[in-house]
A = this chain, B = another copy of it.
């Protein structure tokens, strides 16, 4: 019986040592909160951060959590977004690109040129962006960090959605979800390769 117990304890300990997959839900609208310090620290770790003149209180909120998860990328960030207009999220993505993370963006052709879209700014710094050429919308709203963390939900990356809408975002590391999304990203990325673009 002693041996049996020891085996069961050893098995339980082994299971505990395996890192548990991150499973998290963020709801929006996000509490209004200043993310300047977070973004400045990410841009220049350790540098003195000037106090932000904006009237928003500092502190954690759904947006700051989303920013932190994205900024945890070390190797790759694959993004598939219907609409991308949030200046804070745009800044985080450009920052990752500057840091050498391989950033790829897929977006919707009809929404990427809207006033306030971040897509032009991303292209301007050299980030690869591809878009659909289909009648339907490219309506996904997901990001994959380092090919292992999926961030997906109802949230378009716009200030309107972040500050005003009821939205959800799931953070997922279980392979049953991450792998199909990796496949979907690669499928779309190839389908929207500019060599396939038609000229009208």
Contacts and interface: CB of A to CB of B under 8 A. Distances in A.
B160 A136 contact: yes
Contacts of A98: none
A166 B8 contact: no
Nearest to A191: B166
Contact of A184 (B134, B168, B184): B168
Contacts of A82: 154
Contact of A3 (B4, B166, B168, B180): B4
A189 interface: no
B168 A152 contact: yes
Interface residues of A, number: 45
A136 B137 CA distance: 21
A170 interface: yes
A181 B25 contact: yes
A102 to B, nearest CB: 22
Contacts of A152: 153-154, 168, 170
A166 B153 contact: no
B24 A176 contact: yes
Interface string A81-102: 0100000000000000000000
A168 B154 contact: no
Contact of A23 (B4, B29, B141, B176): B176
Interface of A: 1, 3-8, 11, 23-25, 27, 29, 82, 132, 134-142, 152-155, 160-161, 163-168, 170, 172, 174, 176-177, 180-181, 184, 188
